[in-house]
Amino acid sequence: MTTVDDDELVPVFIPALVLLLHEGERAKGSPLTEDEALAIRDNGTCIMLRRSAADAMAESRGYPDLDPGDCWEQWQVVRAGS
């Protein structure tokens, strides 16, 4: 059983990573490659927040962001649903 530590610090992208990738694709005019998506992630601005604050931010935003460690895989799922 995994426990969630509300005091754990987690990265939060500003703006959300999913928005950065959408904008990257829109600007490119075609799907991003994995290397391009990872470069966008690596150059994005993020802050570290306590998990509880990050969860509250996602709730107020109305959607969860991508996990930076799994962003390529999650991005493929988001793109398939668009």
Domain assignment present for residue 46? The answer is yes
pTM of the model: 0.86
Domain assignment present for residue 4? The answer is no
The domain of 54 spans 9-81
Digit-coded pLDDT (tens) for 17-75? 999 999 999 999 999 999 999 999 999 999 999 999 999 999 999 988 999 999 999 99
Domain assignment present for residue 1? The answer is no
Total tally of structural domains belonging to the chain: 1
Tokens of 74: 């999650």
What does the alpha-carbon distance between residue 75 and residue 38 come to, in Å, rounded to a whole number? 11
Domain assignment present for residue 63? The answer is yes
Domain assignment present for residue 44? The answer is yes
Tokens of 27: 């600007």
Domain assignment present for residue 60? The answer is yes
Which among 35, 40, 33 is positioned nearest to 66, based on CA atoms? 40
